[in-house]
């Protein structure tokens, strides 16, 4: 939750240093007209603020702060450390990273510093502290935003040496590391930590050494946390009670976000869906963000009010699309709905990225009108669902370790060469989304007790603790679903002798003999009793049930008839195993059966393409209903009574939604 907020924050990034005073004043008028109540600044203004090492110039920012204060606009104050000054790179080349190709970078781009550079950290902490000291007392200061979209990896000597220390702290002695990493393979044995290289293109370890590559990704997450803490610590000195966050890039794969957010006061992320993304996929990312802090509300720190310029084709957002995407974010836990950007830059990489006020510099535009309409709605209803949470009986285990190991750290080792972990997880999520059943994501070391159904798709990295917890979860009468590649490796990405799914063999009641990989368009068949047939692809595991019973078997190839989906009674509970990647319809068939068994159901019945979510806070229970269809669609509210929060109309029973429309309903007992 955002400390001190009494309504949804609505607004976005603004760069006063790029515009003259006239323009800023004119813009403030427009912002107010659009219901905007927050601006984020000065994300990329380090040199303007510190034109020379240790010499600060806050004049222009003071002026902007005063104007915003006067206008009643809150400020999300960002440290400008995502793009260091050219003078810093020039004076201290150590702040520049070495990339995975092994090349020392020169100054340019953004987020291009070495996360372990002492000089970078020194200057970053210094400016964060100077800003905190200066602005902590401003009454319109609402929160802090540290840097921007962390995620750059560095492979320089500083990092290499620090990695040695990190490994030494983890393994104490080199013999221990050698053993845990099984370094006798290909003579990878080290005699000293100092011999360890970083996994780059100059040694091909990034694709040929899964263990090393995986450890390096963990290390990079830890270093990035240090960078965040380095600034947050400085800020806390002056603003001890203020919300501090950093915006997670849509490219969430580089850092273990479960670890990252432990250091933030609220989860904050940038939502840039492809124009072609299914609503479900966007919903999944919001749910993941909501889940990072166990259901706490989060911030949508950025979305584009129109086109995104960095995609191969910059489609305009269609009429109403910004409103739909905004309500979707709010429905799934967002307490802030912010845009990048309020005014379009006239140059640089993002000069064609959408903005509330574009190069046309007018407010009689479609984009401005849509933003303003939403702003006015939020002025009315934005306090209703603040801090609201969404209850779920099901959870999907989401695991950066497994993602990395299956998609990145062992690129050239696995039975396939391409995998998209997010897409594979999404196939499961999509069943929940389509049926409007709330579902959380959980880390594998989380508390599972509140759930009755747990999906562990491709949960590749499973140590003994995790295995034990999954077993006792199931034994206690609950339901677990696993897949091919669930439970294969230990923390060091080593398989364990004794057949997959390794430590989970008992709970699933089977052992795996072989794993066939299918060509890109190749499929096998999945046959349930009574001739229900689906296809599967990607991988086909050839396994033998010990205590499990076969639910479905392969229909083709030399392993036709072998089990592909099984069910095992374990203790008081049940474990399902899916030895392949089934088509969506098959997953839907299986999961809806499991939903029935476990008594998990949707909010309400509704037409396909209608998305329903509920947020409950201490004062209200709010139902968000989004109709993604280009036609009218229905939801059946049964006997329940709701008030449309915008129109104040009372709604119950069979309700019709307009095409591509979102409604926000407040549960009410009044009749």
Residues designated as active site: 149, 302
Which parts of 365-394 interact with a copy of itself (CB under 8 A)? Answer: 365-367
Which of residues 22, 54, 240, 313 is near a copy of itself by CB under 8 A? Answer: 313
By CB atoms closer than 10 A (0-12, 13-18, 19+), residue 631 is exposed
Q: Does 226 bind a copy of itself (CB under 8 A)?
A: no
22 binds a copy of itself (CB under 8 A): no
Among 3, 21, 52, 277, binds a copy of itself (CB under 8 A): 52
Give the shortest CB-458-to-a copy of itself separation in angstroms. Answer: 15
Do residues 395 and 442 touch, judged by C-beta distance below 8 A? yes
Give 52 or 572: the residue with its C-beta nearer to a copy of itself: 52
Task: With CB under 8 A as the rule, give the number of residues binding a copy of itself.
Answer: 112
Torsion-angle region of residue 294: left (phi > 0), alpha (psi -120 to 50) or beta?
A: left
Q: How far is the CB of 193 from a copy of itself (least distance, A)?
A: 10
Encoded tokens for 550? 């076969």
How far apart are CB 363 and a copy of itself at their closest, in Å? 12
Q: Compute the least distance from the CB of residue 255 to a copy of itself, in Å.
A: 20
The 517-556 site mask, x for binding a copy of itself (CB under 8 A), equals: xxxx---------------------x--------------
Smaller CB distance to a copy of itself: residue 310 or 449?
Answer: 310
C-alpha to C-alpha distances, 144 to 53, 72, 232, 591, nearest whole angstrom = 23, 18, 9, 42
Nearer to a copy of itself, 83 or 114 (CB): 83
Instruction: Single out the segment in contact with a copy of itself by CB under 8 A; choices: 27-35, 102-110, 248-256, 629-637.
Output: 102-110
Choice from 6, 137, 169, 187 touching a copy of itself (CB under 8 A): 187
CB of 498: closest distance to a copy of itself in angstroms? 5
Answer for the pair 561, 467: CB distance below 8 angstroms, yes or no. Answer: no
Q: How far apart are the first and last CA of the chain?
A: 33
- Number of other CB atoms surrounding residue 192 within 10 Å: 8
CB of 603 to a copy of itself, least distance (A): 31
Q: Which of residues 318-347 bind a copy of itself (CB under 8 A)?
A: 318-319, 344-347
Give whichever of 47 and 450 is closer to a copy of itself, judged by the CB atom: 47
Give least dist CB 256 to a copy of itself, A: 21
Site string for a copy of itself, 121-150 (x = CB under 8 A): ------------------------------
Closest of 170, 164, 237, 249 to residue 198, by C-alpha: 164
Q: How near is the Cβ of 656 to a copy of itself at its closest, in Å? A: 23
Nearest distance in Å: CB 373, a copy of itself: 16
- Burial code of 203-228, b = ≥16 C-beta within 10 A, e = fewer? eebbeebbbbbbbbbbbbbbbbbebb
Chosen residue from 12, 85, 501, 573 binding a copy of itself by CB under 8 A: 85
Among 328, 358, 474, 524, binds a copy of itself (CB under 8 A): 358
User: What residues from 580 to 639 belong to the interface with a copy of itself (CB under 8 A)?
Assistant: none
Closest CA to 539 of 507, 571, 503, 515: 515
Name which position in 3, 4, 63, 90 contacts a copy of itself (CB under 8 A).
90
Taking CB under 8 A as the binding criterion, the range among 105-113, 419-427, 608-616, 663-671 that sits at the site for a copy of itself is 105-113
Stretch that binds a copy of itself, among 48-56, 383-391, 448-456, 587-595 (CB under 8 A): 48-56
Asked if 349 is part of the footprint of a copy of itself (rule: CB under 8 A), the reply reads yes
Residue from 343, 306, 362 nearest 19 by CA? 343
Residue 181, interface with a copy of itself (CB under 8 A)?
yes
Cα separation of 386 and 617, whole Å? 7
Q: Which helix (H) or strand (E) holds 516?
A: strand 510-517
CB of 199 to a copy of itself, least distance (A): 8
Which one of 30, 40, 140, 211 is in contact with a copy of itself (CB under 8 A)?
Answer: 211
Residue 164 or 433 with smaller CB distance to a copy of itself: 164
Cβ proximity to a copy of itself: between 240 and 498 the closer is 498
Nearer to a copy of itself, 372 or 600 (CB): 372
Alpha-carbon distance 221 to 116, whole Å?
12
CB 127 within 8 A of CB 46: yes
Q: How far apart are CA 247 and CA 422, in angstroms?
A: 20
- Candidates 8, 9, 15, 399; binder of a copy of itself (CB under 8 A) is 15
Establish if 511 lies at the interface with a copy of itself (CB under 8 A). Answer: yes
Residues 107-126 that bind a copy of itself (CB under 8 A): 107-110, 112
Cα 557 from Cα 534, distance rounded (Å): 15
Q: At CB < 8 A and 24+ separation, what contacts does 45-51 make?
A: 45/15, 45/17, 45/80, 46/80, 46/81, 46/83, 46/84, 46/85, 46/127, 47/85, 47/86, 47/87, 48/17, 49/80, 49/127, 49/131, 50/85, 50/123, 50/127, 50/130, 51/85, 51/87
Among 24, 28, 41, 83, the residue binding a copy of itself under the rule CB under 8 A is 83
Structure-block tokens of residue 607: 């037409």
Q: Whole-angstrom Cα distance, residue 613 to residue 662?
A: 11
Which one, 67 or 499, has the nearer CB to a copy of itself? 499
Q: Could you tell me the CA-to-CA distances from 332 to 201, 269, 328, 329 in Å, in that order?
A: 40, 13, 6, 5
Q: How far is CA 318 from the centre of its chain?
A: 24
Q: Which residues of 241-278 are buried (b: 16+ CB within 10 A; e: fewer)?
A: ebbbbbbbbbebbbbbbbbbbebbbbbbbbbbbeeeee
Stretch that binds a copy of itself, among 98-106, 139-147, 419-427, 597-605 (CB under 8 A): 98-106
Residues in region 407-446 near a copy of itself by CB under 8 A: 410, 412-417
Q: Which of residues 271-290 bind a copy of itself (CB under 8 A)?
A: none
Could you say whether residue 496 binds a copy of itself (CB under 8 A)?
yes
* HSE of 48, CA atoms in CB hemisphere, 13 A: 17
Cβ 5 to a copy of itself, closest distance in Å?
A: 29
Q: Is 25 in the site for a copy of itself (CB under 8 A)?
A: no
SS3 240: coil
């Amino acid at each position: 939750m955002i400390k001190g907020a009494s309504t949804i924050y609505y607004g976005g990034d603004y760069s006063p240093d790029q515009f003259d005073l006239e323009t800023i004043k004119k813009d403030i008028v427009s912002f107010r007209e659009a219901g905007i109540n927050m601006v984020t600044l000065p994300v990329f203004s380090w040199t303007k603020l510190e034109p020379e090492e240790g010499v600060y110039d806050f004049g222009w920012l003071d002026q902007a702060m005063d104007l915003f204060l006067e206008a009643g606009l809150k400020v999300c104050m960002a440290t400008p450390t995502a793009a260091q000054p050219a003078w810093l790179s020039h004076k201290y080349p150590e702040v520049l990273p070495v990339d995975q190709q092994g090349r020392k970078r020169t100054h340019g781009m953004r987020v291009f510093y070495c996360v372990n550079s002492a000089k970078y950290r020194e200057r970053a902490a210094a400016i964060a502290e100077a800003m905190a000291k200066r602005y902590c007392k401003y009454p319109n200061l609402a929160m802090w935003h540290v840097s921007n979209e962390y995620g750059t990896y560095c492979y320089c000597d500083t990092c290499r040496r620090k990695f040695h220390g990190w490994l030494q702290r983890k393994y104490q002695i080199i013999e221990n590391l050698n053993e845990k990493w099984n370094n006798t393979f290909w003579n990878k044995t080290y005699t000293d930590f100092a011999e360890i290289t970083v996994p780059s293109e100059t040694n091909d370890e990034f694709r040929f050494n899964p263990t090393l590559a995986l450890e390096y990704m963990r290390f990079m997450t830890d270093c990035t946390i240090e960078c965040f803490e380095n600034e947050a610590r400085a800020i806390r000195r002056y603003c001890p009670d203020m919300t501090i966050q950093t915006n997670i890039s849509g490219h969430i794969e580089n850092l273990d976000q479960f670890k990252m957010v432990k250091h933030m006061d609220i989860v904050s992320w940038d939502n840039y869906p492809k124009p072609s993304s299914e609503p479900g996929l966007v919903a999944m990312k919001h749910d993941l963000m909501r889940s990072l802090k166990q259901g706490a509300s989060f911030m949508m720190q950025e979305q584009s009010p129109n086109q995104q310029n960095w995609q191969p084709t910059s489609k305009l957002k269609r009429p109403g699309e910004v409103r739909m995407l905004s309500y979707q974010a709010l429905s799934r836990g967002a307490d802030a709905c912010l845009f990048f950007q309020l005014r379009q830059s006239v140059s640089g990489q993002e000069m064609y990225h959408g903005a509330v006020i574009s190069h046309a510099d007018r407010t009689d535009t479609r984009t401005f009108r849509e933003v303003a309409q939403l702003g006015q709605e939020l002025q009315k209803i934005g306090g209703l669902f603040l801090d609201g949470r969404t209850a779920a009986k099901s959870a999907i285990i989401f695991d950066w370790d497994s993602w990395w190991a299956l998609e990145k750290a062992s690129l050239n080792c696995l039975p396939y060469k391409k995998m998209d972990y997010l897409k594979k997880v999404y196939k499961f999520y999509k069943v929940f989304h389509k049926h409007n059943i709330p579902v959380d994501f959980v880390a594998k070391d989380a508390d599972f007790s509140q759930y009755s159904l747990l999906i562990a798709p491709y949960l590749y990295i499973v140590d003994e603790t995790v295995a034990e917890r999954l077993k006792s979860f199931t034994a206690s009468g609950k339901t677990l679903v696993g897949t091919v590649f669930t439970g294969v490796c230990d923390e060091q990405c080593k398989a364990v002798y004794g057949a997959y799914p390794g430590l989970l063999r008992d709970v699933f009641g089977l052992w795996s003999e072989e794993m066939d990989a299918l060509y890109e368009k190749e499929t096998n068949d999945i046959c349930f009793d009574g001739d229900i047939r689906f296809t599967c692809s990607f991988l086909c595991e050839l396994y033998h049930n010990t205590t499990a019973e076969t639910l479905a078997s392969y229909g083709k190839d030399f392993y036709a008839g072998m089990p592909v989906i099984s069910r095992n009674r374990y203790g008081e509970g049940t474990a399902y195993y899916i030895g392949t990647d089934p088509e969506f319809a098959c997953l839907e068939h299986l999961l809806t059966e499991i939903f029935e068994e476990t008594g998990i159901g949707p909010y309400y019945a509704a037409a396909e393409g209608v998305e329903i979510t509920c947020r409950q806070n201490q004062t209200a229970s709010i139902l968000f209903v989004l109709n993604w269809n280009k036609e009218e669609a229905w939801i059946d509210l049964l006997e329940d009574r709701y008030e449309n929060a915008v129109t104040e109309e009372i709604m119950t029973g069979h309700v019709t939604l307009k095409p591509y429309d979102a409604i926000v309903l407040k549960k009410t007992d009044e009749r």
